[in-house]
């Protein structure tokens, strides 16, 4: 299961839960249209990274795995 969220609490879940889910945390501000464009530009690569990692952060620079 992949959760796409703007809630930073999902980056700090307890270990037993984080092992069962994948999280894409969106750390962006601005208009909903710009946020959507940025997420859509990066989501394919994020999903590929989530095959091996549990959390990715999508921000102004692109995305980063935790």
Per-residue pLDDT in tens (0 to 9) along the chain, 66 residues: 899 999 999 888 888 887 889 999 999 999 999 999 999 999 999 999 999 999 999 999 888 898
Q: Tell me, what's the pLDDT at 5?
A: 93
Q: Whole-angstrom Cα distance, residue 47 to residue 65? A: 11
Q: Tell me, what's the pLDDT at 12?
A: 87
For residues 25-58, b (16+ Cβ closer than 10 Å) or e, as one string?
A: bbeeeeeeeeeeebbeebbeebeebbeeebbbbb
Q: Tell me, what's the pLDDT at 15?
A: 83
Residue 23: Cβ within 10 Å count: 22
**Pairing status of strand 62-65 against strand 55-59:** antiparallel
**Pairing status of strand 22-26 against strand 2-5:** parallel
Q: Tell me, what's the pLDDT at 53?
A: 92
């Amino acid at each position: 299961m992949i959760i796409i969220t703007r809630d930073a609490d999902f980056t700090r879940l307890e270990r037993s839960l984080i092992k069962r889910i994948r999280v894409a945390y969106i750390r962006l501000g601005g208009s909903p249209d710009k946020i959507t464009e940025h997420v859509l530009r990066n989501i394919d690569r994020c999903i590929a990274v989530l095959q091996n990692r549990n959390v990715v952060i999508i921000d102004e620079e692109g995305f980063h795995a935790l």
